[in-house]
Amino acid sequence: MIMRDVRELLLPHIRKLTTYQGVDPMEVLAEQAGIAPENVIRLNGNENPYGPSPKVIEALGNFRQYNHYPDQNQRQIREKLAGYLNVHPDRIVVGNGSDELIDLILRIFLAPGDNIIIPVPTFGMYSFSTEVCGGETITVSRDENFEIDVAAIKQSITSKTKIAFLASPNNPTGNIATESQIRSILDTEIIVVVDEAYYEFCGQTALSLLDEYPNLIVLRTFSKWAGLAGLRVGLGVMSPDIARSIMSMKPPYNVNLASEIALTVSLDDLPTLTGRIEAIVAERERMMGLLQNVHGVWPWASQANFILCRLPDGRGQEIFEGMCRRGIFPRYFNNAILQDYMRISVGFPEETDRVIEVLSDLVGR
Ligand SMILES: *Cc1c(COP(=O)(O)O)cnc(C)c1O
């Protein structure tokens, strides 16, 4: 028997999928630049340079029951989060990173052929996960200041539109969605996901709208503020009906015991983590001032832990590659809107100083 090409068995939308471009591991970056991993300045993933709370590291090493399955109902961690967020635990679902919640939300609302709406530029996972579900993405351009064009979003909604994703603060532009923008889109009665991955760096939240709008879902993550990107801890807050529905269809053990411990101990060590958030916010403001003084670089004011910079016309990729060769890795987006932009995460002060030095040199050529 001659086996036919197994690829023919794949669903058509999976066969033509464009893979999400995540950040490469440290060793890969080091090899690219031909330098030692410890000399790499990694500013492409909005990670927390301070790492997790030291108490998290200690608790993970001391725990002995990794042979047990975690609680599929997430009782303890939902209870713990309810206290932190000041919402009822029935409204909370915890995920393997907030990326998993994006996927789960799409899977309960989106049938093949349905669509989502996103103001662009924004986070890449919304359209990627939509593609995986066989759905389509309607993109609506932000205005010249990267503000959301609410009227254009409303006009673009069709009978097949199920969800709008609004990142606030937005990645990669750093600005927030205002309450009135969020309300206007909620009033259309489609599901509105407000992704607050950077909430702890700005303090603005849509949580208070939950009682009024059962079609609102707020996402949070421990990846950025709590330094847990590698442990995958994210969550959604939503109407109890949607939460129950996601709890009933999610992979039962989606949050592992190490993630549960890291979440719990992080919330028990808020003073340490809050101190670091304050240091990152202060460093963001210092970096902003320094970037404003680099001739040919136009930084965008940010409420998150990164800054988007515009570079001289036609020179985005060249300047990005120049930085990588010198061991600094910012994020470059190879698309039409952001060709001459670069997003730089806020790292340690000495990393900022090196960024400014190298950037001034490259742009000045
Ligand atoms: C980083 C980021 C996430 C991813 O969070 P995880 O919890 O690590 O999956 C989600 N949304 C936005 C806007 C982000 O920038």
Q: What is the DSSP string of 231-290?
A: T-EEEEE--HHHHHHHHHHS-TT-S-HHHHHHHHHHHHTHHHHHHHHHHHHHHHHHHHHH
The per-residue pLDDT for 31 is: 85
Strands 233-237 and 92-96: antiparallel
Pocket of ligand 1 (CB under 6 A): 46, 97-99, 123, 167, 171, 195, 197, 221, 223, 229, 234
Gap from CA of 7 to ligand 1 centroid (Å):
31
pLDDT-based confidence at residue 34 (cuts at 50, 70, 90)? confident
* Rounded distance between C-alpha atoms, residue 56 and residue 194, angstroms: 28
Whether pLDDT at 20 is above 90: no
Tell me what the mean pLDDT of segment 196-210 comes to: 98
Nearest CA to ligand 1 atom 12: 197
Pocket probe mutation, ligand 1, options 44, 118, 123, 198, max atoms within 8 Å of Cβ: 123
Gap from CA of 206 to ligand 1 centroid (Å):
17
Residues with Cβ within 8 Å of residue 184, at least 6 apart in sequence: 150, 154
Whether pLDDT at 36 is above 90: no
Name beta bridge partners: 341: 310
* Rounded distance between C-alpha atoms, residue 104 and residue 97, angstroms: 11
Name beta bridge partners: 294: none
Atom of ligand 1 nearest to the CA of 99: 9
- pLDDT tens for 227-244 read 999 999 999 999 999 999
Whether pLDDT at 365 is above 80: no
The per-residue pLDDT for 7 is: 87
Contact between 155 and 162 under an 8 Å Cβ cutoff? The reply is no
What mean pLDDT, rounded, does the chain reach?
Answer: 96
Atom of ligand 1 nearest to the CA of 229: 8
Nearest CA to ligand 1 atom 15: 171
Atom of ligand 1 nearest to the CA of 234: 7
The per-residue pLDDT for 2 is: 73
pTM (two decimals):
0.96
Nearest CA to ligand 1 atom 11: 197
Gap from CA of 126 to ligand 1 centroid (Å):
10
Gap from CA of 221 to ligand 1 centroid (Å):
7
Tell me what the mean pLDDT of segment 136-149 comes to: 97
| Residue 319 CB neighbour total at 10 angstroms | 22
Q: Could you give the percent of the chain with pLDDT greater than 90?
A: 90
> Residue 22's closest CA among 42, 36, 50, 49?
42
Contact between 65 and 274 under an 8 Å Cβ cutoff? The reply is no
Residues with Cβ within 8 Å of residue 132, at least 6 apart in sequence: 13, 14, 17, 103, 106
